[in-house]
Structure 1
Amino acid sequence: MNPATPASGSNEMGWGSDVAAQLLRDLGFRYVALNPGASFRGLHDSLVNYLGDADPKMVLCLHEEHAVGIAHGWAKVTGEPMAVVLHSNVGLMHGSMAIFNAWCDRVPMLILGATGPVDAARRRPWIDWIHTATDQAALVRSFIKWDNQPASVPAMVEALLRADRLTRSGPPAPVYVCLDAALQEDPLQRPPALPQPRRFAAPAPSRPDAAALAAALQQLQAAERPVILAGKGARTTEAWTNRVRLAERLGAAVLTDLKAGAAFPTDHPLHAAPMFNFLSGPARAVLQQADLLLALDWIDLGGTLKQAWPAEAPPVPVIEVTLDHQLHHGASMEHQGLAAVDHPLAGDPDATVAELLAALGPAPARAGWHAASSPPPPAAPARHVTLSAVAAALRDAVEDPDLVSFVALSRGWPDQAWPLRHPLSYLGKDGGGGVGSGLGISIGAALALRGTGRLPVAVLGDGDVSMGINALWTAAHDGIPLLILVNNNRSYLNDELHQEGVARRRGRDPSRRWIGQRMDDPALDFAKLAEAQGVEAIGPVSRPEDVPAAIARALQVVQAGRPCLIDLLCPPGAERDLNEASGGRPAP
């Protein structure tokens, strides 16, 4: 990490960009992630020489996609937005996939864009013309919550205040404010009187209509076999404890989703089936025995119900608590299938759980009607490195497994072998399925976890890591402790499984599924690629007996405050079927 550079020159507010920088500080932004660009050179100067690169401090990235990913990971841990700056139209295009991930994952984020001077008379030849757009936000408008391009300093103040309020309001999602380069660089006639941000704060979380809540509560109290689908929720111990209390009060079976992250302790007697991506056999059996369903901001409720009852609407009452419908439009299908719901409760899921608990009042917990899933049998010794062996070695090596935060998990991770007992035990997936997002999101989450005493661990596939490897430079540069375990099968194995499924359906040779999928000949050396970014790395580790020593060495590095990567060579077929291991279904 470079030593802090003291602010130089005049520290008086004198330029348009100084106003934007001051507002970021007043609004409480601690970091701003960026890759440099001339379209926001005015703002860059204000962050460095007016604010002194503190509150917010710059997080320098080698690609705009990583800058957005880091802000995404930060929000997954804190529930708060990080600021991101993207250079003109080209930087916005670079960052667009990561913005889509953040949109699908419903996380807050303040994205500042910039355009070459809107006034054509002020554009430099060539470069300012190709970096100026008449409607730059149109590139991402279908997957952001709100956008604005202010034309004056007072308008910029209002735009930033509104953007901050909207991104923090439920349901959260990224917002985009584009700053004209000329507006940034024009001198101020006089410094504006900036308003107090607290007067523009986001409202308290929404709660459902009282009559609708009372009707749903009556059905919950009458249910004998209720099931709670615990989806997205706050990463706070209060929200976590309330979900547990509600399940115990109702004696409800609970199901959780690998896409959403830890929402309920997975070794609790009421946790009725392993976490899943697609509905697993055990989870389907639980749903089919239920006499009522309570969905708490569940991802793809319609798809889940269709998997449980393919030929009919759910034969039991369904209560859905969500605000997600407020973001739905026709440009993107991330809203998923339309679910048949008997009691739609428009409200924040955690606030609604608190309301339900208050309405239920003090009473003894009811016995659960469904037995918890049994843990898997111990894995047989493997001839190759497997994720099961990696999980066992990591569990033996850490002092307290409950202080591990899995900021990412690849397919095949044996989640049943590692109970999740804290809201930060596992942060869920990237939202939009954009390959290459894992390292950026993991680094942002690790930045948010730095100093908390928790150990951030990212288990990532080789295809994902290969696309985002230079995000590691930021982790090395800023001293962000993070353990990265690369599940390296030298293939886009998920796609291999898809190709095998297609070949079998067509009566063709499934053994050729690897063609156009394998990342071999030459094999990628992830340890050397990581070392080239300044990150200590180990591997490739190809023998199971070498895994414990590699993990022990890596933990020493991370505990010293630095990132470390282990390249784990897990050949295709060494682990049991990856879809079954993740609680999913066979490749189509």
Structure 2
Amino acid sequence: MDGEVTVREAVVDVLRAHGMTTVFGNPGSTELPMFRDFPADFRYVLGLQESVVVGMADGYAQATGGPAAVNLHSAAGVGHAMGALFTAYRNRTPLVVLSGQQARSLLAGEPYLFSAQAAELPRPYVKWSAEPLRAEDVPAAVARACHVALAPPRGPVLVSVPADDWDRHASPVPHRVVSGAGRGDPELLAVVGEALATARRPVFVVGSEVDRDGAFADVVALAEAHRAAVWAAPMSHRCAFPESHPLFAGFLPPVRERIVELLTGHDVVLSLGAPVFTYHVAGSGPHLPPSASLYLLTEDPGTAAWAPLGTAVVTGVRHAVRALLDHPPRGPRATPPPRDLPPREAPGAVITQSYLVQTLADVRPPNCVIVEEAPGTRPVMTERLPNDRPESFYTCASGALGHGLPAAVGVALARPRDRVVAVVGDGSAMYAVQALWSAAELGLPLAVVVVNNRGYATVENFARRFGVEKPPGTRLGGLDFAGLARAQGCAGVVVERPEDLAPALRAAFAAERPHLVEVVVA
């Protein structure tokens, strides 16, 4: 009929209108009709396992600030990707997943490689999922998925498409513009501004929404105007404040009693783009010091609803912070004391975690972007590897391993002018080591630092909280990360002596192709 196109052509137009001309995937039989006459202006980025695919797309979308398209196989592929989808959901990353489904003509039975409840399988870790009832409804469902993925709070969505839908006819979907982050209630923001202006000793807690919403410089200006100490929220996965700034106080731990202790003495706590609070161990007692009042600014109505106390404003963080700049302090305030930092470590006979991180800070280039998944090294990084720029640090918000290495590939693909450095633990690296192949195929100038302590050190440390001195299954041995890198087309070297560390890192940072440095630490 006049005005009709194929489902495939209509979906391609929807993706193109949203800037999603890069498709991350690992194709299976049920997706092949999607790629007939694959458009010349699109590129397909191949990952060797579905969790790697989603991790690369996650890093790419975070680094570009826009959505990313993902192609997954039916039940088996989506199942492989679920851990990475969980991380993307926690990272608030806008991913549009198109998953294959067996042909509609076969779905009356139980055909090979079908998904029995395709829309239910990824829940609850997608914002929306659907398998349209008719082939002609697929383009409109994909368009809806794009808008849902981009609506605050952002996140992944999934549309399951039967294999025989792609060649059916459908009507084109007109491109629409849907508004982004909302502006908070001006009267309630004025209440927050008044509380901040009259506070005796305010303190800020900043989270990942600050970086996502482009509010980094505005938060610095607000903190300086109020001489407020600034803490990073527990488990925050992006840099929301310059960590070398005199007002930066450090990183709040995910422990209720410890947070209360660290915030004691402050009368107003302003949380900017962060949940209050993310805990990792059970606790008791108050969530804040008794004398403190909490004000929470977030784009996420769910976060605002479950916050245990305080006044919450659902708003875009950048808009809210700019409104608060109209409420300067009413009286003088003392400058918060400087943050205590450890002294420099001299080289010894072996490489310690501290010496590794210190050296990395010394030799990294000025345009360095860190992608981290080294849980045992992260506490040292918070002390010795400060990040001072927006969009300069990415890590995993979910705690699920396997994100860091593929995410670094995605960030490097999106940011070719920056030097992307993946810092991953030995245990973490093995969850998605296939990402090195994609980095080599793409020819990315990615530096990978594998911290090899021959075990799941974080699990061993955490076990002591439960009175478990020697947990089983935490020791790793016989892994040759440099060899794994070389086998997949990357350069790979092993460093065991402190005097060799800085030269090896500099060589990795200068390389034009993926370069892995395996650092054996004590």
Q: Which residue of 1 aligns with 2:143?
A: 161
Alpha-carbon shift at residue 355 of structure 1 (Å): 2.3
Q: Which residue of 1 aligns with 2:448?
A: 484
Alignment partners' CA distance in 2, 1:465 and 1:394: 19
Picking from 435, 444, 467, the partner of 2:431 is: 467
Alignment partners' CA distance in 2, 1:89 and 1:306: 35
Q: Which residue of 2 aligns with 1:332?
A: none
Alpha-carbon shift at residue 176 of structure 1 (Å): 0.7
1:446 aligned onto 2:432? no
Alignment partners' CA distance in 2, 1:365 and 1:45: 68
Contact persistence 1:84–1:112 (CA under 8 A): yes
Pairwise mapping of residues 395-474 of structure 1 onto structure 2 (< 5 A)?
Answer: 395-400=361-366, 403-410=367-374, 411-412=376-377, 413-427=380-394, 429-451=395-417, 454-474=418-438
Q: Which residue of 2 aligns with 1:171?
A: 153
Q: Where does the alignment leave 5 or more consecutive residues of structure 2 unmatched?
A: none
Picking from 127, 135, 141, the partner of 2:123 is: 141
Alpha-carbon shift at residue 132 of structure 1 (Å): 2.1
Alignment partners' CA distance in 2, 1:443 and 1:407: 9
Say if 1:254 and 1:117 are closer, same or farther in 2 by CA, change over 3 A: same
Q: Which residue of 2 aligns with 1:31?
A: 22
Aligned residues: 516
Deviation sequence 1:273-296 (CA, Å, 0-9, x none): x22443599965541110011111
Deviation sequence 1:228-256 (CA, Å, 0-9, x none): 10112254795111001111122211101
Alpha-carbon shift at residue 15 of structure 1 (Å): 3.5
Picking from 334, 344, 358, the partner of 1:378 is: 344
Say if 1:130 and 1:368 are closer, same or farther in 2 by CA, change over 3 A: farther
Picking from 194, 203, 206, the partner of 1:218 is: 194
Q: Which residue of 2 aligns with 1:5?
A: none
Picking from 84, 89, 97, the partner of 2:70 is: 84
Contact persistence 2:260–2:288 (CA under 8 A): no
Alignment partners' CA distance in 2, 1:305 and 1:353: 31
Say if 1:305 and 1:219 are closer, same or farther in 2 by CA, change over 3 A: farther
Q: Which amino acid aligns with 1:97?
A: G
Alignment partners' CA distance in 2, 1:306 and 1:344: 24
Picking from 57, 61, 64, the partner of 1:75 is: 61
Contact persistence 1:313–1:340 (CA under 8 A): no
Pairwise mapping of residues 41-440 of structure 1 onto structure 2 (< 5 A)?
Answer: 41-46=32-37, 48=38, 51-52=39-40, 54=41, 56-120=42-106, 129-152=111-134, 154-186=136-168, 188=169, 192-195=171-174, 197=175, 199=176, 201-235=177-211, 239-257=215-233, 258-272=235-249, 274-278=250-254, 285-301=261-277, 303=279, 310=286, 314-326=290-302, 338-357=306-325, 359-360=326-327, 367=333, 369-400=335-366, 403-410=367-374, 411-412=376-377, 413-427=380-394, 429-440=395-406
Say if 1:102 and 1:547 are closer, same or farther in 2 by CA, change over 3 A: same
Other structure's SS at 2:454 match: coil
Alpha-carbon shift at residue 525 of structure 1 (Å): 0.3
Alpha-carbon shift at residue 499 of structure 1 (Å): 3.5
Q: Which residue of 2 aligns with 1:575?
A: none
1:550 aligned onto 2:504? yes
Contact persistence 1:314–1:340 (CA under 8 A): no
Say if 1:73 and 1:366 are closer, same or farther in 2 by CA, change over 3 A: farther
Deviation sequence 1:397-451 (CA, Å, 0-9, x none): 3443xx2111115232333323321012212x21211122221112112212113
Contact persistence 1:530–1:565 (CA under 8 A): yes
Alignment partners' CA distance in 1, 2:467 and 2:280: 27
Q: Which amino acid aligns with 1:131?
A: L
Q: Which residue of 1 aligns with 2:9?
A: 18
Other structure's SS at 1:139 match: coil
Q: Where does the alignment leave 5 or more consecutive residues of structure 1 unmatched?
A: 1-11, 329-334, 505-509, 572-588
Say if 1:327 and 1:379 are closer, same or farther in 2 by CA, change over 3 A: closer
Alignment partners' CA distance in 2, 1:293 and 1:311: 12
Q: Which amino acid aligns with 1:240?
A: F
Picking from 480, 484, 492, the partner of 1:525 is: 480
Alpha-carbon shift at residue 376 of structure 1 (Å): 1.8
Q: TM-score, normalised by structure 2?
A: 0.91
Q: Which amino acid aligns with 2:505?
A: I
Alpha-carbon shift at residue 119 of structure 1 (Å): 2.7
Alpha-carbon shift at residue 349 of structure 1 (Å): 1.9
Alpha-carbon shift at residue 312 of structure 1 (Å): 7.3
Alpha-carbon shift at residue 170 of structure 1 (Å): 0.5
Alignment partners' CA distance in 1, 2:104 and 2:207: 44
Q: Which amino acid aligns with 1:92?
A: V
Other structure's SS at 2:209 match: coil
Other structure's SS at 1:62 match: coil
Q: TM-score, normalised by structure 1?
A: 0.81
Q: Which amino acid aligns with 1:269?
A: P
Alpha-carbon shift at residue 472 of structure 1 (Å): 0.9
Alignment partners' CA distance in 2, 1:483 and 1:170: 33
Alpha-carbon shift at residue 495 of structure 1 (Å): 1.6
Deviation sequence 1:5-41 (CA, Å, 0-9, x none): xxxxxxx996422221222112211311000111111
Say if 1:409 and 1:241 are closer, same or farther in 2 by CA, change over 3 A: same
Q: What is the RMSD computed on CA atoms of the aligned residues? A: 2.9
Alignment partners' CA distance in 1, 2:509 and 2:267: 47
Percent identity of equivalent pairs? 28
More strand per residue: 2
Alignment partners' CA distance in 2, 1:500 and 1:315: 33
Other structure's SS at 2:393 match: coil
Alpha-carbon shift at residue 156 of structure 1 (Å): 1.8
Say if 1:398 and 1:303 are closer, same or farther in 2 by CA, change over 3 A: closer
Say if 1:311 and 1:436 are closer, same or farther in 2 by CA, change over 3 A: closer
Say if 1:397 and 1:212 are closer, same or farther in 2 by CA, change over 3 A: closer
Say if 1:130 and 1:327 are closer, same or farther in 2 by CA, change over 3 A: farther
